[in-house]
Amino acid sequence: MGTNKNEIATRLTIKDILKGIDGISKAMVGMDKVDEETYKKRKNICVTCDKIKMKNGDFKSSKCSMCKCWLRYKIKLNKEKCPLNYW
């Protein structure tokens, strides 16, 4: 059974949302950023993971169904970890 957007939204807490805003902000300004090799390694793992939710095959719009993070930002941040320890 699939998960719809309303189910995801109701499971997110204010803490999750604030963490997401913090992470996106840091990724956008380049703070706490991983090197290019790590970024590519993480991206390659995520694009082949069955937990990725991607629209029209576009990684920029992809989210992780486990942590609900936008992957384009998450994989750039040094402090971030895959919720399933794949990277």
Residues lying near ligand SF4 in the complex (CB under 6 A): 45-46, 49, 51-52, 64, 66, 82-84, 86
CB of 10 to ligand SF4, least distance (A): 20
Type of residue found at 57: G
CB of 12 to ligand SF4, least distance (A): 16
* Cβ atoms 63, 69 nearer than 8 A: yes
CB of 36 to ligand SF4, least distance (A): 18
Q: Which residue number, 31 or 66, has a Cβ lying nearer to ligand SF4?
A: 66
Q: Which residues contact 85 (CB under 8 A, 6 or more apart)?
A: none
Residue 53 token pair = 């939710």
* Cβ atoms 73, 27 nearer than 8 A: yes
Q: Which residue number, 18 or 84, has a Cβ lying nearer to ligand SF4?
A: 84
